Amino acid sequence: MSDITTTELVAESPLSEAWAVFRRSGLALFGLGLLLLIIIVSVVGPFIYVVDPFDIIWAPFTEPGVEAIVPLGTDQLGRDILAGLIYGGNATLLVGVSAALITVIIGISIGAMAGFYGGLADNILMRVTEFFQVLPPLLFAMVLVTLFSPSLPIVAIAIGVVSWPATARLARAEFIRIRNLEYVNAARSIGSKNSRIIWRVILPNALPPLIVSSTLSVGIAILFEAGLSFLGLSDPNVMSWGLMIGSGREYILDAWWVVTLPGAMIFLTVLSVSLVGDGLNDAFNPKLRER
Amino acid sequence: MKFAKYLLAASLLASTVITGGVAVAQKAGGTVVIGTTQKPRHLNPAVQSGIATAVPGTQIFATPIRFDDKWNPQPYLAESWKTSPDGKSITLNMRKNATFHDGKPITSADVAFSVQTVKDNHPFKTMFAPVTSVETPDAHTAIINFSSPHPAALLAMSSALLPIIPKHVYGDGQDAKKHPANSKPVGSGPYMLEEFKPGEHVILKKNPNYFIKDRPLLDRIIIKNYKDVTSMVLAVDKGEIDMLPFLTGTRNLARLKKNADLTVTNEGYAAVGPLNWLAFNTTNKYFKDKRVRQAIAYAIDRKFIVNALHSGFSKTATGPVVLGSPYGAPDVEAYDLDLDKAKALLDVAGFKADGDGMRFKVELDFIPAFAEMQKTVAEYIKPQLKKVGIIVSLRSSPDFPSWAKRVGGHEFEMSMDIVFNWGDPVIGVHRTYICSNIKKGVIWSNTQSYCNKDVDALLASAGAELDQAKRVDLYQKAQAIIVDEAPQVFLNELPYHTVYSNKIGNAPTSIWGAMAPMDNVFLK
């Protein structure tokens, strides 16, 4: 890549510039490709591979690669593992993304208020944040899921509710850093309303680290979902990777593929999300950009 | 010369086989460590049911009668007993040499006190409900009077069900359920309490003044609590503990069976009679029709459950009484898998299939424990019933109390459930069928809300029938009706197994298994 191209891209838009940095990293590109592949398979797969993942279609504990009809084998009941992986990916990604969205919405709102207004508001909001932060997240999520019935939306909400404090702290730090910069003072001096300053002036400039952290929180949410399912606290009527591991774990010594395959999917997904997150971090970090 | 070597080897082998066949002399001494994940709250089985209290409780306390492995009553604290011709009283002639662990003699007053305490406090109300009075004509004779003949009484006087507790300790006016001596029990059984650390262990030591001569054989029994089954199974596999009663995990059983130093047996659970079933709420708009319930019974392949899900370790259940009991009913409708019949029954019941072949949607609950028996079977039932057009959605409960609240409160459509026979049908079976036991809020009552006057009448007369053959006949008739009307689908008997080290002689295999005195257990 020549310097001239880079300069030209910079002139066009900061996003294209970030993309240029992003694609310089092979690992980030690999993560992005993997993630896209997983998303496409989970979203499009159910329309192509039409097998109910709950149906018993073959003998239990069929090994992968033995029967053409169940290429990845069957679990303890004789359910198709491949169908489970495809349909389960759908639910797992859905929970991961919606939980991350909840995290971001709560986290940024609270962090922005605290960072922007400071003083008493900051004090109160940060004490609330600390309250949530000191609770062990998995236990807290278990309590929430237990209180309501374990269904997919509840699981997503529970994960979102327990993981927003980190995002809030990050947002607060960014807002404190930016709120006294010259362009914010300029906006203030021309009489902009606080809400406009928060959402239109500061937030776009605080976004880069927040985008990185929310990308990573998708991965964390997927792990959380798997953890809750493993403990038997997920919707038993929706196939997810965590559910597959949770119900197959007792058979790991007899049939490795029942838990290993969904486990590998979780691993690959979280890995790809993390790689993308790292790539984004590099891309948005101005110091690295100058290197 | 090679031949001679073979000959030598063969004769050596033969001689070991022969000596192996000779009974090993019963040696005294030694310590047996028993592993369990069940933690007792206290050690007094007079006011507490359950395995956790029963295993140590039956070592500490003695009962009037005990049972062998063929359902025959044997003398224990009572030297002999006699049922009156009308069946309305049982006279117990108590041993004269028996003393409590504190040295005080056991008298008929203690028997009367124990019967009253159990009647007032034990959760199994039917055991002594017919008792009107206990007469004590002399210090060693107790006559228990019943309002009606009560053939279940003998079983109710064995195992952990009627521990003879000392009146001079427990009769001080305190609430028996919260009595401090429940954690420092004074009994008369083969072992006495040395140390009770709740959640960690119960250490029992030999009772030197036990009323049976030269017994018990062991110096100590340690009942060690484990937090999870896996570490407990590893411990027995490595030889760190000697015995694991009440093990159900079929994967673990298969693994332990490969260990040549261990014996894995399913003997010793005949009286427990643990059943795994699918229960219907018969007030539900779909399940009030018996044809729907039968259809579901026909749609479930119990052979698959036993062979594929439980690796052949469990047994198919046929009806409300387990087949190991003399009152089991082997000849009732077996509901062999028949999807066409199931569909036809649903059609006749008026639940026609829609365009997608679906008829209606129901929720299925399950106990959040014993996954192999409950959750896994529920996961199997879901796609299986879809084949006949019933959409099942599983409803998981976060913990046992939440499940018990839903099912006990009749807030369910259908649920997996595990219910024990507890020896006599009067104790463990009547409760889930008789109309008068439809009690909202009580788990393991008649939560199915099943009510049939004929069944009520048959069970009532069977419960008071003294003639064994007639009693068996009455129970079989009642079960034929129950199985036909299918308030539950009887799936399988729990694969309870005892795993014990081959060092142990006379492992507990009577009908009550480890819930019976282990006074003749020894170390080879």
Cis previous bond, B198, omega within 30: no
How buried is residue B139: exposed, middle or buried, by Cβ count under 10 Å (0-12/13-18/19+)?
middle
Ordered mean pLDDT values, 10 residues apiece, chain A (291 residues): 46 70 82 92 88 85 83 86 90 90 92 88 90 86 83 89 90 88 87 85 84 86 86 83 85 84 92 87 66 46
The residue that leads in pLDDT, B28 or B293, is B293
How many residues comprise chain B?
524
Q: What SS3 state is found at B372?
A: coil
Going by C-alpha positions, the residue among B524, B111, B377 that lies closest to residue A60 is B377
Interval B164-203: pLDDT, tens: 999 999 999 899 989 999 999 999 999 999 999 988 999 9
The amino acid sitting at A64 is: P
Write down the residue that tokens 């069940």 correspond to: B38
Substitution target in B252, B310, B379 with the highest count of A β-carbons within 10 Å is: B379
Task: Answer whether B443's CB lies under 8 Å from B404's CB.
Answer: yes
The residue that leads in pLDDT, A63 or B96, is B96
Distance from CA of A100 to the nearest CA of B (A): 24
The DSSP call for residue B191 is E
- The whole-chain average pLDDT of chain B stands at 90
Residue A12 is predicted with a pLDDT of: 54
Quick check: B513 pLDDT over 60? yes
Instruction: Out of A79, A146, A254, name the one closest to residue B251 (CB).
Output: A254
How buried is residue B350: exposed, middle or buried, by Cβ count under 10 Å (0-12/13-18/19+)?
exposed
Substitution target in A50, A237, A239, A256 with the highest count of B β-carbons within 10 Å is: A237
Quick check: B55 pLDDT over 50? yes
Going by C-alpha positions, the residue among B319, B314, B328 that lies closest to residue B297 is B319
Interval B140-159: pLDDT, tens: 999 999 999 999 999 999 98
Task: Answer whether B322's CB lies under 8 Å from B270's CB.
Answer: yes
Quick check: B226 pLDDT over 70? yes
Q: Sign (positive/negative) of CA torsion B40, B41, B42, B48?
A: negative
Q: What SS3 state is found at A20?
A: helix
How far apart (Å, rounded) are the C-alpha atoms in residues A221 and B97? 69
Task: Answer whether B506's CB lies under 8 Å from B243's CB.
Answer: no
How far apart (Å, rounded) are the C-alpha atoms in residues B118 and B126? 11
Going by C-alpha positions, the residue among B419, B422, B426 that lies closest to residue B462 is B426
Instruction: Out of B308, B372, B396, name the one closest to residue A150 (CB).
Output: B396
End-to-end distance of chain A based on CA atoms, in angstroms?
14
Pairs from B114-121 (Cβ < 8 Å, separation ≥ 24): B114/B46, B114/B162, B114/B163, B114/B164, B114/B165, B115/B144, B115/B162, B117/B46, B117/B47, B117/B165, B117/B170, B117/B176, B118/B46, B118/B47, B118/B161, B118/B162, B118/B163, B120/B176, B121/B46, B121/B47, B121/B176, B121/B177
- Stated pTM of the model: 0.81
Residue A13 is predicted with a pLDDT of: 67
Q: What SS3 state is found at B449?
A: coil
Going by C-alpha positions, the residue among A92, A72, A73, A7 that lies closest to residue A266 is A92
How far apart (Å, rounded) are the C-alpha atoms in residues B83 and A237? 56
Interface of B with A (CB under 8 A): 249, 251, 255, 308-309, 368, 371-372, 375-376, 378-380, 382-384, 386, 393-396, 398-399, 402
A232 vs B396: CB contact, 8 Å cut-off?
yes
User: Which residues, 6 or more positions from B242, have their beta carbon under 8 angstroms from its beta carbon?
Assistant: B32, B33, B34, B236, B500, B501, B503, B504
The amino acid sitting at B76 is: Y
B384 vs A56: CB contact, 8 Å cut-off?
yes
- Is 3.40.190.10 the CATH classification of the domain at B3-267+497-523? yes
Q: Which of A60-74, B23-37, B369-383 has the highest mean pLDDT?
A: B369-383
* Encoded tokens for B53: 């209290």
How far apart (Å, rounded) are the C-alpha atoms in residues B415 and B409? 12
Residues in a beta bridge with B133: B145
Residue B227 is predicted with a pLDDT of: 86
Quick check: B250 pLDDT over 80? yes
Task: Answer whether B261's CB lies under 8 Å from B501's CB.
Answer: yes
How buried is residue B7: exposed, middle or buried, by Cβ count under 10 Å (0-12/13-18/19+)?
exposed
How far apart (Å, rounded) are the C-alpha atoms in residues B486 and B29? 52
B chain contacts of residue A60, beta-carbon cutoff 8 Å: 308-309
Cβ neighbours around B49 below 10 Å, total: 16
Cβ neighbours around A251 below 10 Å, total: 19
The amino acid sitting at B484 is: D
Please check whether residue A79 touches B, CB under 8 A: yes
The amino acid sitting at B59 is: Q
The DSSP result for A139-193, as a single string, is HHHHHHHHHS---HHHHHHHHHHHHHHHHHHHHHHHHHHHHTSHHHHHHHHTT--
Q: What angle do CA A179, A182, A183 make, to 5 degrees?
A: 80
Interval B446-471: pLDDT, tens: 999 999 999 999 999 999 999 999 99
Please check whether residue A140 touches B, CB under 8 A: no
The class that CATH gives domain B274-493 is alpha beta
Q: Where are the domains of chain B?
A: 3-267+497-523, 274-493
Q: Radius of gyration of chain A from Cα atoms? A: 22
Residue B11 is predicted with a pLDDT of: 44
* Encoded tokens for B264: 């894995």
The DSSP result for B310-357, as a single string, is STT-SEE--SSS-TTSTT--TTS------HHHHHHHHHHTT----TTS
Please check whether residue A239 touches B, CB under 8 A: no
- Domains, chain A, in order of start with CATH, read 6-288 (1.10.3720.10)
pLDDT-derived band at B358 (thresholds 50, 70, 90) equals very high
Distance from CA of B392 to the nearest CA of A (A): 9
Task: Answer whether A132's CB lies under 8 Å from A144's CB.
Answer: no
Nearest residue in chain B measured CA to CA from A61: B308
Q: Radius of gyration of chain B from Cα atoms? A: 25
Instruction: Out of B309, B383, B395, name the one closest to residue A55 (CB).
Output: B383
* Encoded tokens for B331: 């000849």
Task: Answer whether B145's CB lies under 8 Å from B135's CB.
Answer: yes
CA contacts within 13 A on the Cβ side of A143: 8
For chains A and B, what is the number of CB pairs under 8 angstroms? Answer: 58
* Encoded tokens for A100: 């991350």
